[in-house]
Structure 1
Amino acid sequence: MAMIIKRKKVVSLFAVLTFAVFSSFLFIVGYSDETKLNLNRPPKSLDKFYPPVSKDKKFLQAMHSMSLSFKATFLYLQRGDKSKAKKWAENLVKNYLSIPDMVPEWRNYIKRELAESFLKAVESGDMNTIKKSADDLGKTCGSCHQDNQLSVKIFYYTPNWDDIEVEDPVTLKKVGVHKFMKDMNDSLQFAIIGFQDGDFSFAGKNAKDFVARARALKEICSSCHTSQESIEAIAGKAFITSLDSFAKSVNEKKSDEFFKSLDKVGYYCSACHTTHLFLWEIKESLEE
């Protein structure tokens, strides 16, 4: 399923006036003309180069190699070392032309004649020709990045929680993350409703359930956040203290303390949601 968002259109700003600028060439370096961008699921042929299907980084290594090769080519042109410039230019072209073999769906982005022209230009040492051929080749990379880079990053780098289960401390049953988060949210909202309406028994029961579930979040977080330092920052002592204050304010029926502690708890919820939830929702839309 495609998602349409607004983004600024990438344009090439490769305007080489000196060798120094050559050495800092970027494929994509500027934005103008706001336009709509379609986010589509990346081609399935790309799956084999990313977890969980594979840990093979062949595709990503080719991307990094191209970027490095461009930089190195212009570095050695600046130094007047045509031999090393040619070596790196050849490496760039080799990786560039390997893309259709890895991702056949992207073959139309790859222009063999432009890659070969770039290599010939580097061999000639004519800077005007190099400038034009590098600009033309860079535009093909920029076009592919414009269409696909964002969706690839979201799709393959956003954590997938579908296979994670956690024991709900309230029901003592193993449940998926999505149900666990929904039940925890329900407990919190019921606690707020009960407190505001003066039904403190109902509020207390749901506050207790919420706190128990919130404490269990550490089990989910530790699936990815493996260091003690990261767990402490996400769901450590400060988080537990805010939960205890929340439960205490409900039991003591103190309105000011209740909303103050609710704000503190909400900070931790928001921090995690801002980091993960938005990107996960976009990823889910791409998978549909």
Structure 2
Amino acid sequence: MMIKSINKICIVIFVMSGVITGVTTAHAETKVSLKQPPHSLEQWYKPANKRQVWLHTMFKLRREMQAVRENAENGDKAATLKWIKRLDKHYNKIADMVPEWEKEIKPRLIEELEMFAEKGDTYRLKKTLKMIKRTCDDCHTVYQPLVTATYRSPYYDDIKLKGQDGTIHSFEDNMEQLSRSVNRTLIALDDGHIDIAIQSTKKLGEQLRTLGDSCSGCHKDDAYPQERILGNATQQRLQKLQTKISAGKVKDSQDLMGEIAVTVCARCHNTHKIVSDLRNVLLPVE
């Protein structure tokens, strides 16, 4: 996949609950400069790497900084020094993994952190921790949105789905077919066309099963994500929907369609579509 080179993107964003939107308000408006992350970062993310090495390094850093602070506050010098040693290893590992970011970190702060821990100077230790955290936050502000969009969201154009009849569909085509089946069912219920509603819900079930078969492409050796959205609970709702429609219970059928829209469509979109849309805007393909 070829991605256009982005040297610098300046956008006005409103950050709420980790979601970046183009909406501006009178209450909160922040201008953030987003830079393209170094190409060397890619090797530490799936699928280039078998593990999410970069993410796990970030998780360790956060845990280590918290451990240093809490142990220092509790007066446990040995534990504080133990966690500083681990922090030193993983903080300096950033420059080893991504040489372009060597200037973004300040190793001398770790040395000062250890010195204050040895002296039992908790006040200065905590101030130094804040300075270390600031180096992390500064980098995250500039790079994290684009890194998330690039390396933590699938590129759906690469995903092909095999229908129940054996035909191959693009992911986009499957989404369009799902939308048509949902709306065809609701239209048929509203118009009193029970036979059409029954047929469209059967088609909807087939399309959801086709969609579910693609989950393992990313969620390898983990059936839970598919089960949570497209598992037994969803199959039971679809069966119940067929029963309600066959019995002519239009209002109950409409309510069930609403439940399916929330537990399947919205739940999946909230997890996958938001970051995918962000990626498509920031990283359009050639």
On whether the aligned pair clears a TM of 0.5, the verdict is yes
Maintained 8 Å contact 2:73/2:122 = no
Which runs of 5 or more residues in structure 1 are unaligned?
9-32
Given the alignment of the two structures, is residue 54 of structure 1 paired with residue 49 of structure 2, yes or no? yes
Corresponding residue SS for 1:216:
helix
Corresponding residue SS for 1:270:
helix
Count of aligned positions: 264
Which residue does 1:21 correspond to in 2? none
- The 1-side partners of 2:115 and 2:49 are apart by 37
Task: Give % identity.
Answer: 28
Which residue does 1:211 correspond to in 2? 205
Which runs of 5 or more residues in structure 2 are unaligned?
1-5, 17-27
The amino acid across from 2:235 in the alignment is I
Alpha-carbon offset, residue 197 of structure 1: 5.0
- The 1-side partners of 2:215 and 2:89 are apart by 41
Q: Structure 1 length as normaliser, TM-score?
A: 0.68
The amino acid across from 1:103 in the alignment is V
Which residue does 1:102 correspond to in 2? 97
Q: Structure 2 length as normaliser, TM-score?
A: 0.69
Q: Which moved more, 1:138-147 or 1:197-206?
A: 197-206
- The 1-side partners of 2:104 and 2:185 are apart by 55
Which residue does 2:171 correspond to in 1? 177
Maintained 8 Å contact 2:159/2:170 = yes
Which residue does 2:131 correspond to in 1? 136
- The 1-side partners of 2:89 and 2:223 are apart by 43
Cα distance change on mapping 1:128 and 1:180 into 2, 3 Å: closer
- For each residue in 1:36-77, what CA deviation from the matched residue of structure 2 results, as whole angstroms up to 9, or x when unmatched? 555665433211001001125543444344334434545665
- For each residue in 1:180-239, what CA deviation from the matched residue of structure 2 results, as whole angstroms up to 9, or x when unmatched? 121221233244445545667766654443333234333234542756666554334442
| 1:7 alignment partner, one of 4, 10, 15 | 15
Which residue does 1:156 correspond to in 2? 151
- The 1-side partners of 2:198 and 2:232 are apart by 22
Corresponding residue SS for 2:214:
helix
Alpha-carbon offset, residue 140 of structure 1: 1.5
Query: What pairs with 1:259-274 in structure 2 (closer than 5 Å)?
Result: 259-267=254-262, 268-274=264-270
Given the alignment of the two structures, is residue 276 of structure 1 paired with residue 276 of structure 2, yes or no? no
- Could you say what the CA RMSD is over the residues aligned between the two structures, in angstroms? 3.9
Q: Which has the larger radius of gyration?
A: 1
Maintained 8 Å contact 2:46/2:52 = no
Given the alignment of the two structures, is residue 239 of structure 1 paired with residue 239 of structure 2, yes or no? no
- The 2-side partners of 1:87 and 1:261 are apart by 55
- The 2-side partners of 1:116 and 1:279 are apart by 38
